Amino acid sequence: MVQTIWTLSIIFITLFILTFIFYVTKQKQPNKDFSLILLRVKTWWGMFVIFSFATLFNPVVSLISLMVLCYFALREYFSMMKSRKSDRRLFLWSYLMIPLQFYWIYIEWYGMFIVFIPVYVFLFMPLPRIIGKGTVGFLRSVSFTQWGLMLMVFGLSHLGYYQFASPEYGSNLVLFLIVLTQVSDVIQTLISLYLGQRKLVPTANPYITWEGFTGALLTTTVLSYFLYPYLTPFDLKFGILSGVMISIAGFVGSLTISVLKRDLLLGENQKQALKNRYLSRVDSLAYTSPIFFHVIRYYFDFM
């Protein structure tokens, strides 16, 4: 408990200093776009609060917090869709799947947790849309709904399973994952903002450059090397590979959700709307959480 309190204290001080630096820099350099970085900082504070409750009080508190996070992320995702009245029943059933997904975590039924959304929900979710609602726009509405559930619920819900799968190491693994994911995102944005010259995928995300991606990959790998002895039971090889894996997975997640948002949001105010979306804060975690979880579970017995 003493080590956990020290860790949380260090994170709090670091967050406070970084928040102060970013806000001061924003005032001194008004011509630079720091909106994405400030969104990440706000995400850090939110995750810090959730993590503090989970480690100092009860994992159930964290589970409830993450369930609420999934609900708001999914609701915002649905709000971007050009939906019909016939889609509302589909949305309602999607929201009802969230507490069920987290219930499987609570009772530690891993088998159902891992197949519930990708198998059962995927196969039976179209039924509410089919019954009495016709076929117009069926494929678009159902496929978008299933994508939303996979990313905003299935992906993010893995954050809640770490502590149940491994009570001894789970909370520290979540901290390790979140720190590396968010640092990778911020370093990628900063380098792209100041040093970026070559756009990586301009049609999907015009803010990401090759320089930003490479710098984030190297920084995250180095940070992983220094953090893994304190927060994980990994050996040197997997400690370093964790940084590489998290950085690449976070990049793919950010890129994928950027494409989804640009496909859903059409119009003159698209750029501003994309910046202010809550999904911009959790996009990378929707990929890094499940990938990191399943790789650990495959190679290590403590999960």
pLDDT tens digits for 244-257?
Answer: 999 999 999 888 88
Answer yes or no: are the C-beta atoms of 216 and 187 closer than 8 Å.
yes
Cβ-based burial of 301 (10 A; exposed 0-12, middle 13-18, buried ≥19): exposed
- Whether the CB-CB separation of 284 and 103 falls below 8 Å is answered with no
What would you report as the CA-atom Rg of the chain, rounded to the nearest whole angstrom? 20
Cα–Cα distance, 216 to 185 (Å, whole number): 7
Cα 193 to Cα 33: distance, rounded to the nearest angstrom: 8
Provide the whole-model pTM. 0.84
* Confidence at residue 269, expressed as pLDDT on a 0 to 100 scale: 46
d(CA 239, CA 60): 28
**What are the residue boundaries of the structural domains of the chain, listed by start?**
2-299
Residue indicated by tokens 């609900």: 71
**Residue where the block lists tokens 């850090």:** 44
Q: Which two tokens stand for residue 194?
A: 């100041």
In the prediction, which pLDDT does 203 show?
Answer: 74
In the predicted model, residues of the chain with pLDDT beneath 50 are: 266-269, 271, 273-274
- Can you give the pLDDT at residue 267? 43
